[in-house]
Amino acid sequence: MTEQSKSAIVTGASRGIGRAIALRLARDGFDVAVNYVGTKAKAEEVAKEITDAGGRAFAVQADVANPADVERLFTAAEERLGPIHAVISNAGYMPTTHIADGDLAAFDKTIAVNLRGTFIVLGQAARRVVEGGRIIAMSSSAIGPAFPGYGPYIASKAGVEGLVRVLANELRGRNITANAVAPGPVGTDLFYAGKSKERIEQMSKMPPLERLGKPEDIASVVSYLVGPDGGWINAQVIRANGGYV
């Protein structure tokens, strides 16, 4: 790592929004730890795309809901890339189940990945990110319309937004920002799973811009927040959704 370069950890970076964030931060000059939980080949493809373009990156497996895994992830990033300047907690799980169904297995897994996992990642970030660094957690604009079937997901993301605001206060005096980015509907595998063509078309028309978001749209917001012009934005939830709520 050169004196000018910075390092970033992106969880859930093997595909979708996480992949776009990892690639964008690499273009911005960050060395990137590309985290994955089970999709090793895809994570290695992301890292290779970065290195083939002249950047520095490596893929590292870790389950964000496992404290030992997350500690190992941060240690590996420090050993391979140097001091950590930015952490993007992006790994997520989005089932659909109605509250009346009482599907505790789906609820527990959603909370474990989205809320517990974010709590663990933010804890490591708070201890390890250098002065002047940036911490970002991914929330969701689904909190607003409260669609039926998304109770566990929305509950987990509401908790994430609360954690970010508290963390920003706990980092007082260290010149480290903590924010959340809350995407609207974005055309990823996670979004398309289980939806009919008609439902996808309906949701694509909800924003005034009348299209689904692209992963790169969200990566651009993250890029701004971790970049030189984002330093005065703190304890905020940025609803990057094209205006659909």
Q: Is 82 helix (H, G, I), strand (E, B) or coil?
A: coil
Instruction: Confirm whether 150 is a catalytic residue.
Output: no
Query: What is the spatial distance between Cα 172 and Cα 90, in angstroms, rounded to a whole number?
Result: 24
Tokens in use for 42? Answer: 């895809």
In whole angstroms, how far apart are CA 70 and each of 11, 117, 123, 173, 198? 10, 9, 10, 25, 39
Query: What is the spatial distance between Cα 149 and Cα 125, in angstroms, rounded to a whole number?
Result: 32
Angle between helices 16-27 and 215-226 (to 10 degrees): 50
The residue annotated as part of the active site, out of 150, 153, 224, 244, is 153
In whole angstroms, how far apart are CA 26 and each of 52, 175, 188? 11, 23, 21
Do 127 and 82 form a contact (C-beta atoms < 8 A)? Answer: no
Distance of CA 146 to the CA centre of its chain: 20
Number of helices and strands (H, E) in the chain? 9, 7
Do 213 and 242 form a contact (C-beta atoms < 8 A)? Answer: yes
Smallest CA-to-CA distance from 77 within 152, 16, 11 is with 11
Residues forming beta bridges with residue 34, ordered by sequence position: 10, 59
Give the catalytic positions in this structure. 153
